[in-house]
């Protein structure tokens, strides 16, 4: 139990004793003012119930706390805010408690499935995918740290009209070339043909429009789109030639994806493929028709009427019998709950799909699946660059591999400029550049609340000052250097009387588990990211205000080394929850 929890418990007791009020919880904050005291208690919630002004309530509470408990040394009231100073022993006990229980996790005995990435096999991963992967992977790590069993999964969108577009373009314009013959990464190779399809498709539309056909009609009548639609039908009918081409081109893409995932530092416990789940979705559609939950139009298409839910009517099966995304998502959800005992299923998908998931969850509920209430859409904002939005089919995306390489190169340039890694081997230097470069990228992505749209600026992300990954990694490296110079060995110390910067650092360290629990509850890695930044600031203040290696009192010196070691461990663990590594030299 941290100090805040102890204070809140005593407050509840005192409020009951003094005012006979139950279940009153006042907010306790770390005191950031110039007034004396370690914590500030907000008294305003009692004003209405007691019909007293906040100043008098503050004085009454302060007097009662100091009289009824030996945990409080003194108090003062400023404009209704009650500032209290607690005894030093509370900080001593709290530090020992967090040091001893740092690695313990209370198991929840519940499994959460987190889906992320889920790319299409018609293009390489881009900047948007990076935010998706980092967010999903970090949420999974945080849930594990909070005591849940976690299954990390992705469903690969390996079929559909968009896949057929790349296939058709390669068939028409590829002349038999492959990733190997062109020395091109597989996912990029296939993505080039997706762009090629769009270029030629637009030309066909323009030709038809010039002949007097309306633009919307031209989009439907253009030969390439008709051929792609026929290819999709052939695929669904099991045409051997189409299936073989599909399997070969997808294999190129998977190899490319795996290289990207490895460098990005994300992984999966299981992988599903839409090509294996879309038929299951069709079976569900038939069940829904048989039960009267869904209805069929005269053209044979199948729909779900959600107007009574404040939504619209949703197409689930086209008139030609082909499925839509919703069909596949229905089948996939059912399959997951059949195969695993899941308490919660989290979909990490951008906010442009908010409506899709509203509809998905409602349809599953209508079909009778009670676990539909355990589904959650982790909706996140889009990533934009200073120059604006990206467009896949026009080939104007920021490629994930290119961005990671740019971050590595920037970190390398910065390190060489500072000249602090000269004594390291080339292998260790390279590892450091990679860890710092990708750490900068990951931290910049994850420090922003997932729901917010974000502007990614590579140069700003790798700054060694401010709220950045490299700044946090540098503090960790500084502590490792300190511990190395001290030939540090952890030893127990006698009680130390803490100064303000030591108290602030201890309070930050004891907040770790609370932050992890809150981050797991809200599915927001930003809480962990901003926590570790605050921890680093508290450590740097402690470091600047307290001599360590030149401290004459061996007990105080040992304590300051112990607290430095715990700070380093907490920084490392916090960064690991964000998928970020550490280095011992920077």
The domain defined by 3-86 carries CATH number 3.60.20.10: no
Residues of the chain with pLDDT under 70: 387-396
Which H or E run includes 240? helix 240-264
With CA atoms as reference, report the closest residue to 375 among 388, 364, 384: 364
The predicted pLDDT at position 393 comes to: 46
Q: Which two tokens stand for residue 192?
A: 């080039």
Residue 383 CA to residue 263 CA, distance in Å, equals 20
List the chain domain ranges: 3-86, 117-384, 401-577
In order, the DSSP letters of 264-331 are HT---SEEEEHHHHHHHHHHHHHHHHHTTSSEE-TTS-EEEE-GGGTS-EEEEE-TTS-B-HHHHHHH
With CA atoms as reference, report the closest residue to 404 among 368, 375, 376, 440: 440
Asked whether the beta carbons of 195 and 202 are under 8 A apart, the reply is no
Asked whether the beta carbons of 455 and 385 are under 8 A apart, the reply is yes
The predicted pLDDT at position 457 comes to: 82
Sign of CA dihedral 49, 54, 56, 59: positive
DSSP character for 356? H
430-468 burial, b for 16+ CB within 10 Å, e for fewer? eebbbbbbbbbbbbbbbbbbbeeebebebeebbbbeebb
Residue 66 CA to residue 62 CA, distance in Å, equals 6
Phi first, then psi, for residue 460 (nearest 5°) are -65, -35
pLDDT tens figures, 288-299? 999 999 999 999
Asked whether the beta carbons of 469 and 436 are under 8 A apart, the reply is yes
The predicted pLDDT at position 9 comes to: 92
Which H or E run includes 561? helix 554-577
CA 340-264-401 angle, 5° bins? 125
CA 509 to chain centre: 22
The residues pairing with 302 across neighbouring beta strands, listed in sequence order, are 296, 317
- Would 3-86 and 117-384 be classified into the same CATH topology? no
The predicted pLDDT at position 60 comes to: 95
The residues pairing with 157 across neighbouring beta strands, listed in sequence order, are 120
Which H or E run includes 83? strand 81-86
Residue 568 CA to residue 208 CA, distance in Å, equals 66
Q: Which two tokens stand for residue 193?
A: 């043909």
Q: Which fold has domain 117-384?
A: Rossmann fold (3.40.50)
Phi first, then psi, for residue 388 (nearest 5°) are 115, -160
Asked whether the beta carbons of 514 and 527 are under 8 A apart, the reply is no
With CA atoms as reference, report the closest residue to 116 among 264, 235, 241, 219: 264
Q: For residue 155, what are the contacts with CB-CB under 8 A and spacing of at least 6?
A: 115, 118, 271, 272, 273, 274, 277, 332
Angle between helices 240-264 and 161-173 (to 10 degrees): 110
The predicted pLDDT at position 395 comes to: 47
The predicted pLDDT at position 396 comes to: 55
With CA atoms as reference, report the closest residue to 110 among 450, 515, 520: 520
With CA atoms as reference, report the closest residue to 161 among 66, 65, 234: 234
The residues pairing with 81 across neighbouring beta strands, listed in sequence order, are 42, 78
The structural architecture, per CATH, of the domain 401-577 is Orthogonal Bundle (1.10)
Asked whether the beta carbons of 36 and 76 are under 8 A apart, the reply is yes
Residue 502 CA to residue 18 CA, distance in Å, equals 34
DSSP-H helix ranges across 146-239: 161-173, 179-182, 186-210, 215-221, 223-236
Entry pTM: 0.92
Residue 576 CA to residue 64 CA, distance in Å, equals 44
DSSP-H helix ranges across 419-468: 426-446, 458-461
Residues in the chain: 586
């Amino acid at each position: 139990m941290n100090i805040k929890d102890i204070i809140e418990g005593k407050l509840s007791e005192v409020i009951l004793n003094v005012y006979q009020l139950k279940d009153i919880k006042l907010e306790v904050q770390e005191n950031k003012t110039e007034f004396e005291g370690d914590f500030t208690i907000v008294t305003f919630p009692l004003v209405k119930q007691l019909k007293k002004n906040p100043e008098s309530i503050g004085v009454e509470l302060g007097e009662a706390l100091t009289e009824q408990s030996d945990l409080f040394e003194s108090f003062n009231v400023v404009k209704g805010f009650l500032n209290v100073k607690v005894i030093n022993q509370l900080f001593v006990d709290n530090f020992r408690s967090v040091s001893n229980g740092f690695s313990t996790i209370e198991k929840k005995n519940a499994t959460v499935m987190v889906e992320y990435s889920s790319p299409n096999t018609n293009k390489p991963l881009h900047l948007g995918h990076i935010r998706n992967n980092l967010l999903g992977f970090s949420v999974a790590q945080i849930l594990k740290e909070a005591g849940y069993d976690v299954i990390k999964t992705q469903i690969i969108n390996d079929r559909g009209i968009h896949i057929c577009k790349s296939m058709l373009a390669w068939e028409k314009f590829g002349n038999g070339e492959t990733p190997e013959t062109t020395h091109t990464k597989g996912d990029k190779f296939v993505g080039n043909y997706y762009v090629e399809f769009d270029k030629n498709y637009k030309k066909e539309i323009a030709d038809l429009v010039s002949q007097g056909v309306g633009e919307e009609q031209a989009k439907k009548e253009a030969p390439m789109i008709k051929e792609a639609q026929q290819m999709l039908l052939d695929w669904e009918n099991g045409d051997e030639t189409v299936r073989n081409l599909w399997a070969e081109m997808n294999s190129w893409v998977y190899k490319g994806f795996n290289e990207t995932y490895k460098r990005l530092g994300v992984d999966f416990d299981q992988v599903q493929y839409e090509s294996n789940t879309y038929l299951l979705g069709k079976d569900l559609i038939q069940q829904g028709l048989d039960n009267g939950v869904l209805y069929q139009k005269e053209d044979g298409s199948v729909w779900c009427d959600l107007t009574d839910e404040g939504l619209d009517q949703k197409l689930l099966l086209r008139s030609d019998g082909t499925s839509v995304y919703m069909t596949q998502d229905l089948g996939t959800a059912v399959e997951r709950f059949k195969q695993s005992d899941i308490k919660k299923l989290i979909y990490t998908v951008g906010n442009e799909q908010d409506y899709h998931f509203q509809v998905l969850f409602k349809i599953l509920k209508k079909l009778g699946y009670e676990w539909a209430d355990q589904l959650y859409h982790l909706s996140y904002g889009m990533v934009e660059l200073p120059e604006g939005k990206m467009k896949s089919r026009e080939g104007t995306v920021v490629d994930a591999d290119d961005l990671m390489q740019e971050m590595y190169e920037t970190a390398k340039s910065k390190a060489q400029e500072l000249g602090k890694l000269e004594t390291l081997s080339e292998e260790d230097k390279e590892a450091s550049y990679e860890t710092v470069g990708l750490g900068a990228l990951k931290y910049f992505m994850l420090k922003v609340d997932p729901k917010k749209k974000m502007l990614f600026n590579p140069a700003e992300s790798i700054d060694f000052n401010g709220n950045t990954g490299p700044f946090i990694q540098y503090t960790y490296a500084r502590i490792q250097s300190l511990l190395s110079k001290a030939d540090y060995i952890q030893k127990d110390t006698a009680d130390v009387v803490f100064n303000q910067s030591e108290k602030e650092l201890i309070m930050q360290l004891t907040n770790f588990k609370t932050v992890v629990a809150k981050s797991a509850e809200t599915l927001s890695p930003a809480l962990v990211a901003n926590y570790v930044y605050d921890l680093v600031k508290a450590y740097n203040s402690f470091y600047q205000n307290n001599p360590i290696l030149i401290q004459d009192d061996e007990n105080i010196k040992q304590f300051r080394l112990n607290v430095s070691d715990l700070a380093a461990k907490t920084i490392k663990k916090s960064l690991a929850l964000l998928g970020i590594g550490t280095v011992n030299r920077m």
